[in-house]
Amino acid sequence: MDSKFLKIRNDFPILNQKINNERLVYLDNAATSQKPQAVIDEIVRYYQNDNANTHRSVHTLGERATEEYEAARGKVQRFINAKESREIIFTQGTTDSLNLVASTYGEENISAGDEIVVSYMEHHSNLIPWQQLALRKHAILKYIELTNDGRLDMDDAQKKITDKTKVVAIAHVSNVLGVTNDIKKMAQIAHIHNAVMVIDGAQAVPNQPVDVQALDADFYAFSGHKMLGPMGIGVLYGKNNLLNKMSPYQYGGEMINFVEKYQSTWADIPWKFEAGTQNVAGAIGLGKAIDYLTEIGMQNIANYEQKLVEYALPKLLNIPEITVYGPHSPKLHNGVISFNLKGLHPHDLATALDMDGVAVRAGHHCAQPLMKYLNVVATARASFYIYNTVDDVDQLIYAIQDAKEFFKV
């Protein structure tokens, strides 16, 4: 199986280049993934052959575009095992999906004194929409604590979620700490208290099998661009009974049923939430990315990335000046590894690694409350995807040693 993964790199034209005269090792996958030729070709094919506006044109191209767009919805449905395809709403991405939930479900169901529960490891996009909603509604925003090794403190979750809690919003996989949270358990706790469970799946869906029914998720958000798809397309899954009761997010074309001078009725879900001309090429490209991932198998991908972590983590921990955030046991760690080199700011480190062809992220990773919680200003972050190999890990370690020597730290 691994031999198959070694060839995957060839499917990604962008990886076939040198950066600063070195082989490009792209380890910023948690920010965005690269795109295989198959996805690039699919978008070109759509624009060359089938482009038209969906749902409004009677002509042949309009029919094709509509059919392909809805077929992409079906692929997403099967990919995350939603019960029905109308539970899949296309959005611009995770941020857009989470804002949609906060400004529709949240706006309608949160009142003064209610609680919204998040955790310290949330990305700003699963934090600020809730923080601002809480401010508008005079609701209470509560944070679930983390354990010393950076996992969700489930005991604290039991305490923080109460009968006053209306929404529990948690990342499935942290984009900094590399942990997978026990979402199923969280959803059980939330549901005991009649709260809805909102899941930020941006870092989970690209890297492991996700089954929204098995998790009993009420809302589940993710982005296409982190899973080989194009930028500007994402998904919000919502349980049909919840989506049906919610008001539209935006108003305009496509999302209506009948419009009269002083009132309107809304289209059925999912179209009620898809106002205006949609990112059809994006949805079709995402559909192709799903085909590509499905062909490899999500469990195979999870296993392969686990092997990379098992290889990389001990090597990083072996460098005495390196601090790794999140659990140190590879079993508890996904392919997102945040670290710092003692005595060197992560920005300087990232510039040095780039000179050796290695692309990592440095900064606060859109998780400023978490940085404060960890008591760091910023970290470097290496994140793996299907085209990375142990050679890439070796080049990363080599580059870190190089930086260490250069800066004499």
Partner 1 sequence: MSLSGLNSLYREVILDHSEHPHHKKNLKQATSKVTLKNPTCGDVINLELNLVDGKIADIGFTGEGCTISQSSASMMTDVVLGKTTEDGLEMAQIFSEMVMGQKRSAADLKKLGDAAILSSVMQFPARIKCATLCWWALRKSLGENVDD
Ligand X SMILES: Cc1ncc(COP(=O)(O)O)c(C=O)c1O
| 3-state helix, strand and coil shares in percent for the chain, rounded to the nearest 5 | 45, 20, 35
Binding range to partner 1, per CB under 8 A, among 101-109, 270-278, 294-302, 370-378? 370-378
* Three-state DSSP class for residue 18: strand
Q: How crowded is residue 321: how many other Cβ atoms within 10 Å of its Cβ?
A: 12
Q: Tell me how far, at minimum, the Cβ of 383 lies from ligand X, in Å.
A: 9
Q: Are 385 and 206 in contact (CB under 8 A)?
A: yes
Binding range to ligand X, per CB under 6 A, among 183-191, 196-204, 313-321, 354-362? 196-204
Our CB check for partner 1 shows the closer of 291 and 402 to be 402
Size of the site for ligand X (CB under 6 A): 14
Dihedral sign computed on CA atoms, order 110, 111, 117, 121: positive
From the list 186, 312, 366, 370, the catalytic residue is 366
Binding range to ligand X, per CB under 6 A, among 150-158, 200-208, 325-333, 368-376? 200-208
Our answer to whether residue 366 is catalytic in this structure is yes
Binding range to ligand X, per CB under 6 A, among 93-101, 298-306, 341-349, 390-398? 93-101
Q: Tell me how far, at minimum, the Cβ of 406 lies from partner 1, in Å.
A: 5
Say whether residue 32 binds partner 1 (CB under 8 A): no
Closest residue by Cα to residue 355 from 290, 407, 296, 279: 407
Closest residue by Cα to residue 298 from 223, 220, 173, 385: 385
- Among 29, 33, 125, 181, which residue sits at the site for ligand X (rule: CB under 6 A)? 125
Q: How crowded is residue 298: how many other Cβ atoms within 10 Å of its Cβ?
A: 18
- Return the one option of partner 1, ligand X, none that residue 182 interacts with (CB less than 5 to 8 A, by type): none
Q: Which of residues 328-367 bind partner 1 (CB under 8 A)?
A: 344-348, 351-352, 355-357, 362-364
Q: In the Cβ-directed half-sphere of 83, how many Cα atoms lie within 13 Å? A: 10
Binding range to partner 1, per CB under 8 A, among 62-70, 91-99, 236-244, 394-402? 394-402
- Among 54, 77, 94, 379, which residue sits at the site for ligand X (rule: CB under 6 A)? 94
Q: Tell me how far, at minimum, the Cβ of 328 lies from partner 1, in Å.
A: 24
CA distance 233 to 281: 9
Give the CA distances from residue 322 to residues 42, 204, 232, 400, 409, in Å, rounded to whole numbers and listed in that order: 42, 26, 36, 9, 11
Q: Which of residues 2-31 bind partner 1 (CB under 8 A)?
A: 20, 22
Q: Which amino acid is at 306?
A: Q
CA distance 222 to 54: 23
- Return the one option of partner 1, ligand X, none that residue 403 interacts with (CB less than 5 to 8 A, by type): partner 1
Say whether residue 399 binds partner 1 (CB under 8 A): yes
| 404: Cβ contacts below 8 Å, ≥ 6 apart | 319, 321, 341
CA distance 16 to 332: 32
CA distance 208 to 14: 24
Say whether residue 208 binds ligand X (CB under 6 A): no
Q: Tell me how far, at minimum, the Cβ of 83 lies from partner 1, in Å.
A: 41
Angle at 170 between CA 197 and CA 200, to 5 degrees: 90
Size of the site for partner 1 (CB under 8 A): 26
Q: Tell me how far, at minimum, the Cβ of 402 lies from partner 1, in Å.
A: 5
Q: Tell me how far, at minimum, the Cβ of 31 lies from ligand X, in Å.
A: 6
- The residues binding ligand X (CB under 6 A) are 30, 93-95, 123, 125-126, 171, 175, 200, 202-203, 223, 366
Active site residues: 366
- The residues binding partner 1 (CB under 8 A) are 20, 22, 344-348, 351-352, 355-357, 362-364, 368, 371, 377-378, 398-399, 402-403, 405-407
